[in-house]
Amino acid sequence: MTLDQLTIGQEGRVEQLDASCGSAARLMEMGLVPGTAVRVVRVAPLGDPIDILVRGYHLSLRRSEARGVTVGRVDTAGAAT
């Protein structure tokens, strides 16, 4: 599952970043590294950008950037699925 597939309020844990995505290095510098928990806070009316909460701060990503981030969904009990 990729980050752009999570809905508002869903949480995930970063598993990997698509190296072919031109912004992978920039996303890693902003804290999106494997093992990091993320939560979708809101999505703009037309679906782009996506506002996520990562490491205690908000980060807005283009949908195309979020598509390059593979995540494992986390349920409310904290177990990865």
Confidence (pLDDT) at 69: 92
Q: Give which of 25, 22, 58 is closest to 42, Cα–Cα.
A: 58
Q: What is the tens place of the pLDDT at every residue in 3-45?
A: 999 999 999 999 998 877 677 888 888 889 999 999 999 999 9
pLDDT band at 59 (very low <50, low <70, confident <90, very high): very high
Which domains are seen in the chain, by residue range? 3-74 (2.30.30.90)
What is the rounded distance in angstroms from the CA atom of residue 75 to the CA atom of residue 17? 21
